[in-house]
């Protein structure tokens, strides 16, 4: 009997944001593989084996999932958000390419999910309604110089920007530096949205001008969105402001 791997996006947190396709894949799986809090989101049932691991072991976790599938198991590798955006899909394909040839013909697929920046954008309004970029601010896997270069080029292109993994305890200085670069490169008070734990009970959305943004406003559960030069804030009496980027740029 041949096994399978489904790399499943669980969305940002709320069960109402999990696609039926993902729910169905979790119901068919024999094994769930992933980071502890994401595996915990899958309901227990008889016969389901959960393999929850800590952060920063993505490569081992991916190889484990592939080897179980090669033995005939039906494995769901779970990611928060969308597995294709700074999550487990690339890790699994890295392991597949590096692994034994027989893994190449495994039944494997990515099931997309609502990624954090789009859930955050929806809550704030439509800040990503025009051209934008997504940058992972963690320098665990790439040199900081490259991040800095991308920030400056993204500002020059006048993209709205979404930042994943803005800040962790082990590298508090990177996000402070990011804000400095943006203030230098953008030179105005464009809106910055700090969206924490969107769609969970801990959800918190804060919008401030770039001039007033501080590193402490972000942690590892926060996605940060910075508007383009065209992004607008609509103040509303008694309600949170709406932040949106118009569709058009005049000639």
**Tally of CA atoms within 13 A in the half-sphere of 6 that contains its CB:** 21
Window of 36-44, 67-75, 153-161, 171-179 that interacts with a second copy by CB under 8 A: 153-161
For a second copy, the binding residue among 41, 50, 150, 177 (CB under 8 A) is 150
Which pairs with CB-CB distance under 8 Å and at least 24 residues apart come from 203-210?
203/13, 203/123, 205/120, 205/123, 205/124, 205/240, 207/124, 207/233, 207/240, 207/241, 207/243, 210/179, 210/182, 210/183, 210/186
Q: How far is the CB of 84 from a second copy (least distance, A)?
A: 5
Candidates 28, 56, 149, 204; binder of a second copy (CB under 8 A) is 149
> Measured between alpha carbons, how far is 22 from 3 in angstroms, rounded to an integer?
18
Residue 117 or 213 with smaller CB distance to a second copy: 117
Packed helices 88-98 and 58-70: angle between N→C axes, nearest 10 degrees: 60
Residue 89: CB minimum distance to a second copy, A = 4
Does 188 bind a second copy (CB under 8 A)? Our answer is no
Write out the binding residues for a second copy, residues 16-45 only, by CB under 8 A: 16-21, 24
Instruction: Determine, following the binding rule CB under 8 A, whether residue 14 of this chain makes contact with a second copy.
Output: yes
> Which of 159, 174, 195, 196 is the binder for a second copy (CB under 8 A)?
159
CB of 181 to a second copy, least distance (A): 13
What does the block give as tokens for 79?
């990611």
Torsion sign, CA atoms 21, 24, 30, 36? positive
Q: Is residue 156 a contact residue for a second copy (CB under 8 A)?
A: yes
Task: Report the site for a second copy in 199-238 (rule: CB under 8 A).
Answer: 232, 234, 236-238
79-108 positions binding a second copy, by CB under 8 A: 82-87, 89-94, 96-97, 104-105
Nearer to a second copy by Cβ, of 49 and 146: the residue is 146
Across the chain, the runs of DSSP E, i.e. the strands, are: 4-9, 31-35, 49-53, 74-79, 107-111, 125-126, 132-136, 160-164, 191-196, 204-209, 222-226, 232-236, 239-244
């Amino acid at each position: 009997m041949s096994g399978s791997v489904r790399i499943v996006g669980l969305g940002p947190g709320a069960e109402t944001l999990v696609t039926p396709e993902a729910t169905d894949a979790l119901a068919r799986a024999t094994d769930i593989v992933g980071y502890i809090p994401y595996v915990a989101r899958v309901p227990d049932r008889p016969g389901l084996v959960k393999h929850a691991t800590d952060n920063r072991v993505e490569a081992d976790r991916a190889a484990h999932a592939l080897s179980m599938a090669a033995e005939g198991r039906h494995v769901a590798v779970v990611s928060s958000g969308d597995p294709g955006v700074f999550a487990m899909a690339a890790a699994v394909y890295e392991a597949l390419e590096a692994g034994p040839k027989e893994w190449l013909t495994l039944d494997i697929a990515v099931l997309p999910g609502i990624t954090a920046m789009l859930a955050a954008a929806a809550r704030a309004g439509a800040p990503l309604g025009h051209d934008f970029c997504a940058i992972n601010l963690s320098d665990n896997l790439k040199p900081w110089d490259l991040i800095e270069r991308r920030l400056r080029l993204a500002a020059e292109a006048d993209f709205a920007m979404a930042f994943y993994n803005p800040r962790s305890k082990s590298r508090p200085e990177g996000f402070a530096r990011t804000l400095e670069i943006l203030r230098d490169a953008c030179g105005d008070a464009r809106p910055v949205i700090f969206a924490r734990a969107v769609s969970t009970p801990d959800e918190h959305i804060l919008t401030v001008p770039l001039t007033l943004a501080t590193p402490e406003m972000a942690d590892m559960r926060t996605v940060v969105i910075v508007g383009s030069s065209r992004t607008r804030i609509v103040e509303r009496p008694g309600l949170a402001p709406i932040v949106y980027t118009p569709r058009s740029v005049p000639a």
